A and B are shown apart, each in its own frame.
Chain A
Amino acid sequence: MTVWGILLAAILTAAILFVPKAGLLALWNRFRSHRDRTRSEDALKHILAWRQRSGPASLESLAGSLRLSPSTVLHLATRLETAGWIQCGAAGIELTPAGERRALQVVRAHRLWERHLADDANMPIGRLHQAAERAEHSLTVSQVARLDAHLGHPQHDPHGDPIPSADGRVASLNAVCLNDWPVDMPGRIAHIEDEPDAVFRRILAAGLRPSQVVRVVEAHDASLRMQVEDAECVIDRALAINIHVSSARRDDLYPADAARLSDMRQGDSGEIIGMGPECTGFSRRRLLDLGLTPGASVQVVLDNTFGDPRAFRVRGTTIALRREQAEHVWVRPRESAARMEVSR
């Protein structure tokens, strides 16, 4: 009896440990291989980023960035060198061509995933980076290719960073640091650096978003006063280091006589001027398809008990939109449109 009991217990233990795919051993192996993949990929990314910023990376910079002990980093570096991805020389750690391709693949997965979360899941820009940091290590190359196709081969991630192509080409960013941008010249925010997180959050809190067309109203020694759509904000020059701007037309600035569709009252009407850059992906495409394109006239026709959503009459149909969508639609209210006609 006891013998059978022990035997049974032994078989059970063995099963729990060694069952393929679901056994504890298999789980441990999977955990370890995923951890190894995450570490290697993070290391390659770090070396790539470091090179672009300040030259070859070192074991110290690697340890600091990945928050690993020196011995673990040494072990990691040896493994990467054996795999043929890096070369440790006198100047520091360099990527081999194969290692660079691998690093760019990870960057590509990261930025596409951010694009996907922003466009398809409507995730706020402040949470994208964290989510993509996790996802980038579990996507396969073919999954990334499918994601790319599904998103319509986007060129930039939601922060404005160029997405590397499948064969590892990266478009260069033709942009100037906001601190060096002339006063009063309209500029499109081409890129907002998402690291360090605290700085990024303060920039977002000031109301700045990628793709917005902005204007520096006054430049001070320590700060910049800026026009951002229909608001003004003051931003420290220390934060402005992380913002890059490219040239834009004056027409792309938020017009002085414009209003947001969400701010119009029931019965008001106007002419659509355009749609803010924050409205992206499926949401933007659907609004365009419904006829909310520049030049269309629009009227607020229905409120409801809760005041949201509201219904608008556009191109002969009645469309209900939530406040968060209507606020991205810029409108020239009817009276001022009439005045414009006269002055012309």
Chain B
Amino acid sequence: MSANVCNGCPAHDQLARMGIDVESYDHVVALAGNPNTGKSSVFNALTGLRQHVGNWTGKTVTRAEGAFGYKSRRYKLVDLPGTYSLLSASQDEEIARNFLLFGQPDCTVIVTDATALERNLNLVLQVLEITDKAVVCVNLMDEAERKGLEIDVRSLSRDLGVPAVPTVARSKQGMAELVSTVAAVIGGEIRTSPLRIETPAGVSEAISGLVPLIEDLVPGLANARWVALRLLDGDHKVREALLSGELADLAGSQHASAPQRSSRITAIAGAQ
């Protein structure tokens, strides 16, 4: 299962032009999270000095990429802009959302601040609406302890339906477990069943009216309910994706093999 399968595909040319080496990676992992959660500490702790900082193509938003290895597999880590949400359509949020939706990373690590879990879970729940393959990294556990907060990570993990890993990224505590959990989620050893938020009051009929239509048009789409919610909110990127057939492509590739996916990601990243 190596990316070399895709040597001839057009995405590769685009990658080469971007100076990104995709051939040596087996999986792509995205790093999402609120600002001020120590996300960059997690990024640094995972990648060490193997990182490359540039801009998202055509945008003045910093984009950091790095790599780490685990059990002879090589992982590419893409640091998404720190955002509070994926709904407001600021430039940062759009980049993060588009990468999660269209890039389809093999796994998404959502970094949260243990001292303000409630606020951070807002973003976690939104990411879980888009993708199943996620790991919640509960960072700054030391700060939480200092503030007299006790976090029951197992209960959190059970409620969210995805693994949660306590970490102190600054002193590299919990990073090994984070990496092995990511690997297990990608490898399928850990099965996830993410929590989906309750339908907002008064719109359940609208949702149940739309979801069958979307599933009918794009069979196999994993997040039809989320697409319906976005359409009701007037999200123009999702509208466009529906019209242009991009969503249908996504549903198709959700069953495809990982290497094709990882090359897709970088292609999308280039198209940002």
Contacts and interface: CB of A to CB of B under 8 A. Distances in A.
Interface in A284-302: 285-286, 289-291
Q: How large is the interface on B (under 10, 10 to 19, 20 to 34, 35 or more residues)?
A: 10 to 19
A267 interface: no
Nearest to A290: B84
Contacts of A153: 234, 236
Nearest to A291: B119
Contact of A282 (B90, B233, B240): B90
Contact of A149 (B90, B115, B236): B236
A315 B235 CA distance: 27
Contact of A291 (B89, B115, B118, B233): B118
Contacts of A285: 87-88
B85 A316 contact: no
A50 to B, nearest CB: 32
A3 B236 CA distance: 64
A2 interface: no
Nearest to B117: A316
Nearest to A151: B234
Q: How large is the interface on A (under 10, 10 to 19, 20 to 34, 35 or more residues)?
A: 10 to 19
A154 B236 CA distance: 11
A316 B236 contact: no
A152 B236 contact: yes
B118 to A, nearest CB: 5
B20 interface: no
A153 B233 CA distance: 9
A317 B115 CA distance: 8
Nearest to A282: B88
Interface string A234-257: 000000000000000000000000
B122 interface: yes
A290 B122 CA distance: 9
A315 B116 contact: yes
Contacts of B88: 282, 285-286, 289
Contact of B233 (A152, A286, A314): A152
Given A286-B88, A289-B85, A315 B236 contact: no
B196 interface: no
B119 A315 contact: yes
B239 A291 contact: no
B236 A317 contact: no
A13 B122 CA distance: 66
A285 B119 CA distance: 15
A150 interface: yes
Nearest to B240: A149
B118 A315 contact: yes
A316 B34 CA distance: 13
A289 B87 contact: yes
Contacts of A282: 88, 90
A317 B119 contact: yes
A289 B87 CA distance: 8
A9 B235 CA distance: 59
Contacts of B87: 285, 289
Given A149-B239, A315-B119, A316-B116, A289 B233 contact: no
A292 B239 CA distance: 28
Given A282-B90, A286-B84, A289-B88, 15 more contacts: A149-B236, A152-B233, A152-B236, A153-B234, A153-B236, A154-B234, A285-B88, A289-B87, A289-B122, A291-B118, A291-B122, A314-B119, A315-B119, A316-B116, A316-B119
14 contacts: A150-B89, A150-B236, A152-B236, A153-B236, A154-B234, A282-B88, A285-B88, A286-B88, A289-B84, A289-B85, A289-B122, A291-B119, A315-B118, A316-B119
